[in-house]
Amino acid sequence: MTSGAPAPASVPAGVDPYLPDRAPSGLDVDRYDLELDYRVTTNRLDGVARVHARAAADTDRVSLDLVGLRVSRVLVDGKRPGRYAQRQGRLDITLARPVRAGERLTVEVHYAGAPGPRRGPWGEVGWEELTDGVLVAGQPDGAPSWFPCDDRPGAKAAFHLVLTCEAGYEVVTNGVLVSARPRASRVRWEFDQPEPTAPYLATVQIGRYERTPLVAATGGTVPQDVVAPPRLRAAWAHDLARQPQMMTLFVDRFGPYPFPRYDVVVTDDPLEIPLEAHGLSVFGANHVDGRRGSERLVAHELAHQWFGNSLTAATWQDIWLHEGFACYAEWLWEEEAGGRTADAQARAVRTRLRGLPQDLVIGDPGRDAMFDDRLYKRGALTVHALRLEVGDDAFFDLLRAWTARHRHGSVSTGAFARCVADVTGLSPEPLLDAWVDSAPLPDLPARRR
């Protein structure tokens, strides 16, 4: 990731401090209905987005984020608005009449162009062409590269997506497949996903893939498919063979899996890092080596379905609530698989972090350091320190309560502190102040007997 300028010390209410140029849209979005027509061979996207929302306040104007694609028509409740304009990655709409707070409205946007990644403080994110297909990796602000949205992590909504593209490609996106209907040389794919989702976690994956069940929908087990090029079948079959065991472990430790299914996409191209999306994760061909060389990442991305996807930080300032817990899940899995204990891993990591600069506050890392590996590892150490403080039984009760209390919601460090206090009866402030809100690396607590 490339560094960006630090966020301003203060920002207006409703603005993510790490996204100061993304003003609130004026809308509380309930659902995105996306109808897309995509030509893989020419990278041409024609889209209609219907944004079903309520007015966030009394207003006569609303806006949506959209980058690199040209709007040709806008309707509000089926009628032309007063006017609209695109500027600096925003679609600003002046309404034909003012609306009151809570009033429902549907904004319909027709747009088209050659989609590509958004370029910003974190490099290039969003819609990206592969050698033969498409990858959408939206974290943290790439969603507007392919549809108009309120691009803040706390602005969660349901999705319904229809995408038509050439035959011969598998299309993967969030939610449950409703239908796949051939139309001459093209196929119309329809998906529905009712769970509230941050726009950055919406995705489209297109490739010459085969879909193979890893776990079928029987016996109450979460259905899991792998969608990958045929040439990688043997490698992924070995490398992902233990993913169902990971699911069993995490359901026991974290609580019920939050979505109807879990898919893994393996692209035919290499990728720098794997990435989670709502209900699925994406790995590059380089992550399946036939030797389980990336198994810790398999665990990490699966854990994000609870921590990051179901429970999503309201602002990027609290990203440690995603990455710290997902990193800790790696340690839990290694222990379960017969490797080092989580405690041994934590102490080794702490020793390594002691030799690195002590200048990172994970509760407010700044946008240039929000993907720093030290945040991931110190976040996991924070989770382990809490486990040592409260004991195993209370700790895993806490994790299950945390995921249940905020299922499909937005979270913050403050909300986590309240959950800790409610479940364990202990005051978490001293521990969180030392581990989350201060830069020097603390000592791990003594294990509770």
Residues 74-97: pLDDT tens digits? 999 999 999 999 999 999 999 999
Domain presence at residue 1: no
pLDDT at 218 > cutoff 60: no
pLDDT at 14 > cutoff 60: yes
Residue 178 and residue 35 in one domain? yes
Average pLDDT over residues 216-240: 89
- pLDDT band with cut points at 50, 70 and 90 for residue 113: very high
- pLDDT band with cut points at 50, 70 and 90 for residue 6: very low
Average pLDDT over residues 25-36: 96
Which residue, 176, 204, 232, sits at the end of a domain? 204
- What is residue 357's predicted lDDT score, i.e. its pLDDT? 97
Whole-angstrom distance, CA of residue 321 vs CA of residue 312: 8
- What is residue 4's predicted lDDT score, i.e. its pLDDT? 37
Report the domain count for the chain: 3
Domain presence at residue 16: no
User: Contact, 262 vs 302, CB < 8 A?
Assistant: yes
CATH of the domain at 217: 3.30.2010.30
Domain presence at residue 191: yes
Which residue, 263, 288, 305, sits at the end of a domain? 305
Residue 193 and residue 285 in one domain? no
Helix axes 320-336, 373-390, angle to 10 degrees: 70
CATH of the domain at 85: 2.60.40.1730
pLDDT at 3 > cutoff 70: no
Which residue, 277, 305, 333, sits at the end of a domain? 305
Q: What is the mean pLDDT of the chain?
A: 94
pLDDT at 449 > cutoff 80: no
Domain presence at residue 31: yes
pLDDT at 29 > cutoff 70: yes
User: Contact, 125 vs 141, CB < 8 A?
Assistant: yes
| Domain housing 271 | 210-305
- What is residue 423's predicted lDDT score, i.e. its pLDDT? 98
Domain presence at residue 9: no
Residue 66 and residue 154 in one domain? yes
Residue 275 and residue 150 in one domain? no
Contacts of residue 248, defined as CB under 8 A and 6 or more positions apart, other chains included, come to none
Residue 195 and residue 229 in one domain? no
Average pLDDT over residues 434-444: 98
- pLDDT band with cut points at 50, 70 and 90 for residue 15: confident
- What is residue 186's predicted lDDT score, i.e. its pLDDT? 98
Residues 254-307: pLDDT tens digits? 999 999 999 999 999 999 999 999 999 999 999 999 999 999 999 999 999 999
Tokens at 295, concatenated:
């198994």
Stronger pLDDT, 218 or 132, i.e. the higher one: 132
Residues 91-106: pLDDT tens digits? 999 999 999 999 999 9
- What is residue 271's predicted lDDT score, i.e. its pLDDT? 97
Contacts of residue 398, defined as CB under 8 A and 6 or more positions apart, other chains included, come to 386, 390, 419, 420, 423, 424
Residue 94: CB atoms within 10 A of its CB come to 14
Question: What distance, in Å, lies between the first and last C-alpha atoms of the chain?
Answer: 42
Domain presence at residue 295: yes
Residue 292 and residue 367 in one domain? no
- pLDDT band with cut points at 50, 70 and 90 for residue 217: low
Residue 354 and residue 387 in one domain? yes
- What is residue 73's predicted lDDT score, i.e. its pLDDT? 98
- What is residue 446's predicted lDDT score, i.e. its pLDDT? 87
Residue 227 and residue 144 in one domain? no
Predicted TM-score (pTM) of the model is: 0.95
- What is residue 239's predicted lDDT score, i.e. its pLDDT? 98
Residue 296 and residue 334 in one domain? no
Residues 118-127: pLDDT tens digits? 988 889 999 9
Residue 61 and residue 197 in one domain? yes
Residue 106 and residue 222 in one domain? no
